Structure 1
Amino acid sequence: MKLNRIPLDNILFLDIETVPAHESYGELDDALKELWEQKTSYQRKDEISGEAFYERAGIWAEFGQVVCISVGYFNLKKKEREFRVTSFHGEEVKILKDFNALLEGHFNQARHLLCAHNGKEFDFPYLARRMIIHGLDLPTKLDLFGKKPWEVPHLDTMELWKFGDYKHYTSLKLLSHVLGIPSPKEDMDGSMVRDVYYKDKNLERIVRYCELDVITLAQVFLSLRNNNLLHEDEILRV
């Protein structure tokens, strides 16, 4: 199926924000410290200690946690196009349960697709792993067991931009810039999420940042289809 033939209201756009499960390396028990050292030995090399590297723990589902999931979806039932954005945030188990309920209640049909930037490498497996860790049942859209590649209900804007080049990485920010998408007024970036969460204790700021990424994601997808971009009056935060 061609990209521009997928009905927009069949797609749930999403982005997640994650942080280390513990604020500091010192809070880990001895067993977890050793496992962290083993897990990150390749990335750290010899010159960086496990403790110094712990600030990056949020990118691994085994050592991190989800603090926000923002989603966006098109409402095409009205005469005017509308893109609705909402977020799940707070305690991780509740975030995952609420997101699961959304998927199973409203995006559980064969026609429904999930879309994220680098989602196949990060967002989708991260969410599935955290659900399993908490003993939650996987929603249909994240349970990939036995599915053939063409049956996986996931869209990934980074993969779409690769055009078969498996060595190529392009950030959402770079991609939106080269596509001429107006940059939202962000007051932070992904590297700041950990400190904003643990030091500033400003979850609302993280939620705003996550929602802006979802809007940018949708804009990139529209651009890849040669559709008109969203105007501010078409975006509704609910």
Structure 2
Amino acid sequence: MTVEKLAELLNTQPRAPEESKVLSELRTHWMEALSRPLWYKQLQTEIVSLLFAKNNGDSRQRWIRRQLIATIGCALKAGIIPLSPADEFADFDSEREPISDIVIHHTEGRPQTTPDELNALGFIFQYTKNFLAGPILGKSVENKPVGSGHVINGRQVFYAYHYLVNCDGEVVRLLHDTHIGWHAGNWNVNKRSVGIALAGNFDDCPPPQSQLDAVIDLIRNQYPNIEPQRVYGHYQVNFSKTCPGITYANLWKKTLLERLEQ
């Protein structure tokens, strides 16, 4: 049913009544699947073709991709998706090392990116992807619901980063320092680092001063013993990335590091 409905949705006209009808049917199917412990296996066709494909396709496919991400995010926030007990995967953090590095990221999305959105993205693109591939760090996850072992304020979370810094300078703590954030794409770096994500996309312009000031204050206050030369852009520890934006190397890396030296 899913393959046929996806093809049907691709062929409908944007904002036409038929589009709403087919999308509603797909969302109903997705939500029913998401209520089951092994939802990621039932939705594997959509996950692989829409979410994990290297080529994200045309604008229509990208639109459907956003619908699936939003549906998963809503189900996760509402507590509809069954999760493994947090203590079952607490040993994911057993390799945590003393913090010696800081990795700077951008969220690549809109400046109003919320913690709930980041939680959904981490759930999908870090944890679900790894549960489908399995095992994780030598631990079998066969036929197990997705879990992270990370609990914040009484609920299991799936953030990749330790902090989110908003454009107005607000700093949101996402993970404890004892948690390994799956943010760098390099496990050795993950084990010893803290990931700080700036909300927004900085490929074309640098972050506003209020956001940069907040990052500097955060590092100074929380990690005063980390030398500026141990503060990296994501691309410096994962060469396949341009994160935290193309402007970082030429426009604000120097400012960030010089101010941390003061």
In the superposition, the TM-score normalised over structure 1's length comes to 0.27
Which of the two has higher C-alpha Rg?
2
Structure possessing the higher relative contact order (Cα contacts under 8 Å, 6 or more residues apart)? 1
In the superposition, the TM-score normalised over structure 2's length comes to 0.26
